[in-house]
Structure 1
Amino acid sequence: MPFSPNFSISPATAKALMAIEASRTAVDGLPISPLLIASLRESARLLSTHYSTQIEGNRLTLPEVRQVIAGHGGFPGRERDEKEVRNYYLAADKAEAVAMLQRRLTEKDIQMLHGLAFEGTLKPTPYRDGQNVIRNSADNRIVYMPPEAREVPTLMRELLDWINEEIEEQRLPVPVIAALAHYQFATIHPYYDGNGRTSRLLATTILHRCGYGLKGIYSLEEYYARHLRRYYDALSVGSSHNYHLGRAEADVSGFVHYFCEGMADAFLKVRARAETFGGDARGGVESLMRELRPLQRQALGLFAQSRVVTAGELAKYLGISQRQGAEFCATWARDGFLVVENPSKKARSYRLAQRYEVGAA
């Protein structure tokens, strides 16, 4: 039986979809500096990596994730966590590359994304060959039993057929297609592990494939992580924990709304940043960015997240030593790139000089 999702678009979901379109149109029409886009893209990719792996139990903090991706890992006892973030970062990059090909998505694409996210290899990983169950970690009770392994290949082919047909026919809003693909992949649960990460990568691929990449400067995963209980509740619908006893036919309108609401939230944040490049400021951004050294351009990504930072936070973000971080801050303050916000020796902090703040907003 072909995949035929059971859902409806509520007035609240329709409002979220309109907000997504408004933000998308606004951002796509703004002439943002390529250098700044590169910095914001890197920040968004790191946020996606951090939050998507955090959802699955990864213990690394965002500054630690930055260090690992910069090649400065080395957290004893957390080697597996380091591997997870490196793998997901590579997989997120590959998801965008696949989307840029502008062709039909294939099972091999998904298997390759899983291989990168879970194993760190481009070799496509085969689907599970046995039954698995999702249990409550507190009392070990079964909370979800996915379809049997022998059913997975057929269900995945049906899902990919549906995704490609919807993309081609454009009968549904793209965010709804991505939401339903995310939900159904997680419901089929084609792997023993890594299903959550791969379902989020699949949704991202669809969004980028269909013109909702928003220059790559947003992170949906941050919204999921900050509203994690709602994320799991929206995924857990139906009258039974068994795929064949109600889960497959369940009304998934709640998850569609949650997904679209998260997209609207993420897109609005990007729009707010992008619109600081209005008016007379636009023409000066390019010249200002050309004045900066490479590490200063990279540091703009940190100031895009926090107006005031310490030397220690800058050091972690850039993947350098605490001593180097302090030296850079002192030098950049003398050069007029930074301004001392708090002169206290123990709690000294810095912000961008006013002329550069537009480049990090």
Structure 2
Amino acid sequence: MLQTDTIRITPELLKLIAACDEFKGAWRALGTLAPDRLHALRRIATIESVGSSTRIEGARLSDSQVEKLLSRLTITPFATRDEQEVAGYAQTMETIFESWADIPLTENHIRQLHRDLLRHSDKDARHRGEYKTTSNSVAAFDASGRQIGIVFETASPFDTPRRMAELVAWLTAEAGRGHLHPLLRIAVFVVVFLEIHPFQDGNGRLSRILTTLLLLQSGYAYVPYSSLESVIENSKEAYYLALRRTQGTIRTDTPDWQPWLVFFLRALEQQTRRLAAKVERERIVLAALPELAVRIVEQARMHGRVTMGEMIAMTGASRNTLKEHFRRLVGQGLLVRHGAGKGTWYTLP
């Protein structure tokens, strides 16, 4: 059983938890943006999350490349491993967003999510949804690719089924007892999951999918609209350092949860601050724009780009009137112009 009685609730942890819970309570008011604008926020956050989470694990696709790929997810097969990983992550995240209330966190569902995550990965076909059968300890290599040592030793294949059963049972029991705040409970689950490293590959990506699932199930409904993965990518060194400091003590009698809890809660708090700023910016900008300009911006958000011809057909406004609105929006930094003449199109910055 996990030794969580060693968790120290410091003033910093209390402050971070309070900030997240305050935003959780305020989201009902903050989330009163029009549905199309909320949809645009979620679309942007999804692109950031998919791009960041896969890049953390070594993929190289930029957010713009991810966006293009997401627009053609139904076109398979995917040409590269990076594209396969991005497509699997995006589709699994959409499953979480749409069905989180119907996915209890059991071992079977964890394995199913792992299968979904790697559904397009040819290299991983033989072990999708199955616990590892060979060691996947984190190793260090020299410049020639020769292994020079083990950085972190994960659970053995023999111990993995037992330890996963214990972890899921702990999460269920702790949720019933309510001894730990939900954010602390989720943080402990994630760091232990990564310490076990139950699958041959995809553990990091799956841990972030499970984080989103558990946050949604704990009432943090704003999660789809702001990318936690992006926050982690921007703090990748601190992320790995916090993981290692806590993971190295988990199997001792006095585990040190503090390094990971502080990092995890700081990341969550930064996620809420980013989203609050985006919502406020939306309100200020859109409230100050003429209705026709608002419709231009909304079209760009919904479809990734907007053209003069589209807006003439949609609004019936004259080309000269729309031209002036496009010019002002570009001047205000709200749109970026691409191309020239009849081939001109505009995107959000």
TM bucket (normalised to shorter chain) is 0.7 to 0.9
**Residue 39 (structure 1) aligns with:** 40
Residue 189 (structure 2) pairs with residue 185 (structure 1) = no
1:166–1:172 contact (8 Å) kept in structure 2: yes
**Residue 2 (structure 2) aligns with:** 3
Q: Using a 3 Å threshold, how does the CA distance of structure 1 residues 226 and 146 change in structure 2: closer, same or farther?
A: same
**Residue 243 (structure 2) aligns with:** 235
1:47–1:222 contact (8 Å) kept in structure 2: yes
Deviating above 6 A after TM superposition, structure 1's stretches of 4 or more consecutive aligned residues are 121-124, 324-332
Residue 135 (structure 2) pairs with residue 131 (structure 1) = yes
Residue 258 (structure 2) pairs with residue 259 (structure 1) = no
Q: Gapped runs of 5+ residues in structure 1? A: 303-316, 319-323, 352-359
Q: Using a 3 Å threshold, how does the CA distance of structure 1 residues 141 and 299 change in structure 2: closer, same or farther?
A: farther
Which structure has the higher relative contact order (CA within 8 Å, separation 6+)? Answer: 1
Q: Using a 3 Å threshold, how does the CA distance of structure 1 residues 73 and 109 change in structure 2: closer, same or farther?
A: closer
1:128–1:192 contact (8 Å) kept in structure 2: yes
Please report how far the alpha carbon of residue 328 of structure 1 lies from its aligned counterpart in structure 2 after TM superposition: 6.8
Amino acid at match of 2:134: G
Please report how far the alpha carbon of residue 99 of structure 1 lies from its aligned counterpart in structure 2 after TM superposition: 2.1
Residue 323 (structure 2) pairs with residue 334 (structure 1) = yes
User: 1:267-346, aligned counterparts within 5 Å?
Assistant: 267-275=272-280, 292=295, 297=298, 299-300=300-301, 317=304, 333-334=322-323, 336=325, 339=328, 341=330
Residue 95 (structure 2) pairs with residue 106 (structure 1) = no
**Residue 343 (structure 2) aligns with:** none
**Residue 212 (structure 2) aligns with:** 204
Q: Deviations over 1:252-295 (max 9, x none)?
A: 2110110110000111111223245779x78x99x959x848xx
Aligned identity (percent) is: 23
1:178–1:204 contact (8 Å) kept in structure 2: no
TM-score (normalizing by structure 1): 0.75
User: 1:72 and 1:94 mapped to 2: Cα distance?
Assistant: 14
Q: Deviations over 1:37-73 (max 9, x none)?
A: 1111111111110100010011011100100111189
User: 1:72 and 1:113 mapped to 2: Cα distance?
Assistant: 18
2:308–2:322 contact (8 Å) kept in structure 1: no
Please report how far the alpha carbon of residue 131 of structure 1 lies from its aligned counterpart in structure 2 after TM superposition: 2.2
1:26–1:271 contact (8 Å) kept in structure 2: no
Provide the secondary structure at the position in 2 that maps to 1:221.
Answer: helix
1:41–1:215 contact (8 Å) kept in structure 2: no
CA RMSD of aligned residues (A): 4.0
Residue 154 (structure 2) pairs with residue 146 (structure 1) = yes
**Residue 314 (structure 1) aligns with:** none
Q: Using a 3 Å threshold, how does the CA distance of structure 1 residues 65 and 14 change in structure 2: closer, same or farther?
A: same
TM-score (normalizing by structure 2): 0.78
2:101–2:217 contact (8 Å) kept in structure 1: yes
**Residue 229 (structure 2) aligns with:** 221
Please report how far the alpha carbon of residue 249 of structure 1 lies from its aligned counterpart in structure 2 after TM superposition: 5.2
Q: Deviations over 1:162-217 (max 9, x none)?
A: 22223333332222122111101100110111110111111111000110121620
Amino acid at match of 1:341: V
**Residue 116 (structure 2) aligns with:** 116
Match of 1:168 among 176, 198, 202: 176
Please report how far the alpha carbon of residue 300 of structure 1 lies from its aligned counterpart in structure 2 after TM superposition: 2.4
User: 1:169 and 1:176 mapped to 2: Cα distance?
Assistant: 13
